[in-house]
Structure 1
Amino acid sequence: MRLAVVDDRATLLTEAGPVDVHRASEGRFPADIAALYAVWDEFRTWAGAHPTAAVDAELPLPASLGAVSPRPPQIFAVGLNYVDHAAESGFAVPEAPIVFTKFASSLTGPFGELNLTGETVDWEVELVAVVGRGGRDIRAEDALDHIAGFTIGQDYSDRDVQFLGAPAQFSLGKSFPGFAPLGPVLVSPEDMPAPEDTVLECTVNGEVMQSAPLSDLIFPVPELVARLSAVATLMPGDLIFTGTPPGVGFGRTPRRYLRKGEVVHTSISGIGAMAQTCA
């Protein structure tokens, strides 16, 4: 299943073209995707009658696409979840997931402008898991039953703010408006490629900055769900930013940050791509 938010309405992307969920279900399911997550299991059964569109199917105009979970109850973000990213950042490989949050006001759609907040704004491509069925103490082997799907996220970071003082201010440095673009679509777990075939990539003005398979995760998605739900109750619509691979500007010599006019293109195999122009 592939789902998008088109003009603020939940829209299935099918072989026959876009399907407005609320209209096609004759009002059974809401147009608001945030409300749709609350009845996800029932919706997923209904949506199964509509064959999924191909990955390269034509999407609605970028300007009409919104974040696939615009009002998440909680946002979990995982740091240093790739060995080489931990190394380039100067940290040891973590023995347990490092968890922080991005504040919800940073969320935005998959296309548009990124307003730079200073001279050290950095890129971080991430796979984002969206919770469909909530719960606590979820076993790793059951975790994907609780995931509505996966999407692309950028964890834009103002490094000056992030590393101002000790300890670091991860959440503040990553939560300016527009620092969490999300999209362009939600893809259900069964329609995702295998982790070794799921490549995360970020380019800046066409230059490849990050490229790595999802199989390089230290803590894979099922383990993250199990560990997070052992502490917090997961709720429908929650977001889990699963971490970024190596290649961020902060880890380069010399360091490299975003400049006005540059275009950041972010893609993940099986999901698609999104883009922001720095302003």
Structure 2
Amino acid sequence: MPFSRLVRFISTDGKTYTGDAILPAGTTDAMKATRAKVIVGDIFGEYTITEEVKDIKKLLSPLSWSQIPTVRLLGLNYAKHALEIKLPKPIYPVLFFKPLTAIGGPTDDIPVPKLAQIDNETDYECELVIVIGKKALNVTEEDALNYVLGYCVGNDLSQRAWQIKKGGGQWGLGKMFDGWAPMGPAIVSSSIITNPQNLKISTKINGKVCQSENTSDQIFGVAKTISFLSQGTTLLPGDVIFTGTPSGVGMGRKPQYWLKDGDVVEISLEKVGTIINKVVYEKDVKAKL
């Protein structure tokens, strides 16, 4: 029997486990789970959901760095977002990468190092995240969803000054920092989310709604994205793909809003749940340019 909502967590015994979250009645948000059934084995191969139940002390990223071969991300993948920042819709998916160290957990702080504090233009981006479940090479759009293990919600943090102005158009330079791709709170099985193109997605900053959209506004849906990215390039089990952000980002607001030290960012996706991360500015370290 496949998992429903796969979580990785530290239990009250201090040990780290992978488990299938036991949700309280009336919720689909794994962030609210306090217990999970322990999973043993390879989640990309043979595994067993045991009857052993552990308390959840702290939720971690559903996948560890060692389980993720690559972190791929799409830019400009929502029609209204392209409109708000006054750029044309792309003809093909716009792809970039983040380092594994960018991956963070659903409740981890978002560290803003001194280098990223220059010009103070750190932005939030709520995103649907795909987790690939098996090798995918040259797959068709019709078959693409069969390669999905499940879905998370994530935040593609972006330092716009480095991304656009100082970096010479090198998107990765403004998105590379440690902890700048928190994701979770669980990997929700593709057997639960059978249609990823009709999910509400949103961001709150300090309780105020800043983004509120539906994945139906994506220019390149999940199936098309997987098919395109697999052409001539093998997607591996554990690869994560952030699928772009909807309208409402700080850069597109009037006036623009940049994340500040102490801001609390809540990113939510229907049927998946919420990640809650606090922005923490690095102190007393000089940036070396």
Unaligned stretches of 5+ residues in structure 1 = 23-28, 31-35, 51-58
1:6 aligns with 2:6: no
Identify if the C-alpha distance between structure 1 residues 148 and 196 changes in structure 2 by more than 3 Å, giving closer, same or farther.
closer
Unaligned stretches of 5+ residues in structure 2 = 11-15, 25-34, 281-289
Greater per-residue strand proportion: 2
Q: Is the 8 A contact 2:111 2:179 kept in 1?
A: yes
TM-score by length of 2: 0.82
Query: What CA distance in whole angstroms lies between the structure 2 residues aligned with 1:167 and 1:175?
Result: 15
Deviation at 1:190, TM superposition (A): 2.0
Deviations 1:169-214 (A, max 9, x none): 2112111011010100000112127446411100101111101111
Query: What CA distance in whole angstroms lies between the structure 2 residues aligned with 1:15 and 1:273?
Result: 14
Identify if the C-alpha distance between structure 1 residues 164 and 93 changes in structure 2 by more than 3 Å, giving closer, same or farther.
same
Deviation at 1:231, TM superposition (A): 3.0
Query: What CA distance in whole angstroms lies between the structure 2 residues aligned with 1:110 and 1:166?
Result: 28
Deviations 1:210-266 (A, max 9, x none): 011111111000100100000311001001100100000011122110111211111
What's 1:68 paired with? 62
Identify if the C-alpha distance between structure 1 residues 154 and 166 changes in structure 2 by more than 3 Å, giving closer, same or farther.
closer
Deviation at 1:142, TM superposition (A): 1.3
What's 1:149 paired with? 150
Q: Is the 8 A contact 1:264 1:275 kept in 2?
A: yes
Query: What CA distance in whole angstroms lies between the structure 1 residues aligned with 2:127 and 2:246?
Result: 8
TM-score by length of 1: 0.85
What's 2:140 paired with? 139
Backbone CA RMSD of aligned residues = 2.0
Deviation at 1:152, TM superposition (A): 0.8
> For 1:175-194, what aligned pairs fall within 5 Å after superposition?
175-192=176-193, 194=195
- The percent of aligned pairs where both chains have the same amino acid is 33
Q: Is the 8 A contact 2:80 2:217 kept in 1?
A: no
Q: Secondary structure at the match of 2:109?
A: strand
Match of 1:86 among 78, 82, 85: 82
Q: Is the 8 A contact 1:2 1:13 kept in 2?
A: yes
Residue type of the partner of 1:158? Answer: Q
Match of 1:113 among 109, 113, 128: 109
Report which stretch shifted further, 214-223 or 65-74.
Answer: 65-74
Greater per-residue helix proportion: 1
Deviation at 1:135, TM superposition (A): 2.1
Q: Secondary structure at the match of 2:258?
A: coil
Residue type of the partner of 1:204? Answer: I
Q: Is the 8 A contact 2:197 2:222 kept in 1?
A: no
Q: Secondary structure at the match of 2:191?
A: helix
1:19 aligns with 2:19: no
